[in-house]
Amino acid sequence: MKHSKTESPQDTDSKLQVFYDGDCPLCAKEINIYRGLDSHTPIHWRDISKESDKLPAGVTQETLLKRFHVIDSQGQLQSGANAFIALWASLPGWRWLARLAAIPGVRPLMEVSYRGFLRIRPGLQSLVRRYSKEKNG
């Protein structure tokens, strides 16, 4: 059974909530890959570039757009590597990455790598947008 469709906000109890930047071409492509998979956990996909209401308590839209965030099945807000690990744990074909993160030292290495990616993300976004315009235009 697929659970990749967006649910209404009132249906988010005990579901994994994924907050992503739909205006980021890299983020949107990655999320589309995840959305196409069957998840054993219902997932509520939230495009924060378009959705600014009903955000987690104490968290701004700007904060959610800067890093990848999820609210895990226990209701805890996770960001960065921890957020990816929570998502991967619910997706077929990606669970091995969540298990890999349990090895001592891997999770911090993943977080450092993610922070490095965030530094180059604006440049990568520009390249992807330019390539898409050239290809489609």
Provide the number of structural domains found in the chain. Answer: 1
Q: Pairing between strand 43-47 and 69-71? A: unpaired
For the sheet containing 69-71, what is the strand order? 43-47, 16-20, 69-71, 77-79
**Taking Cα atoms as reference points, which of 68, 129, 80 lies closest to residue 108?**
80
Per-residue pLDDT of the chain (137 residues; tens, 9 = 90+): 333 343 434 444 558 999 999 999 889 999 999 999 888 779 999 999 998 778 898 999 999 999 999 999 899 999 999 999 999 999 989 999 999 999 999 999 999 999 999 999 889 888 888 877 777 76
C-alpha to C-alpha distance for 96 and 81, rounded to whole angstroms = 14
pLDDT at 129: 82
Residue 4 domain flag: no
Long-range contacts, stretch 54-58, CB < 8 angstroms, 24+ apart: 54/9
β strands within 13-121, DSSP E: 16-20, 43-47, 69-71, 77-79
pLDDT at 103: 96
Residue 24 domain flag: yes
pLDDT at 87: 95
**Taking Cα atoms as reference points, which of 33, 39, 44 lies closest to residue 7?**
44
Q: pTM score, two decimals?
A: 0.82
Domain holding 66, by residue range, is: 9-136
DSSP state of 82: H
Residue 3 domain flag: no
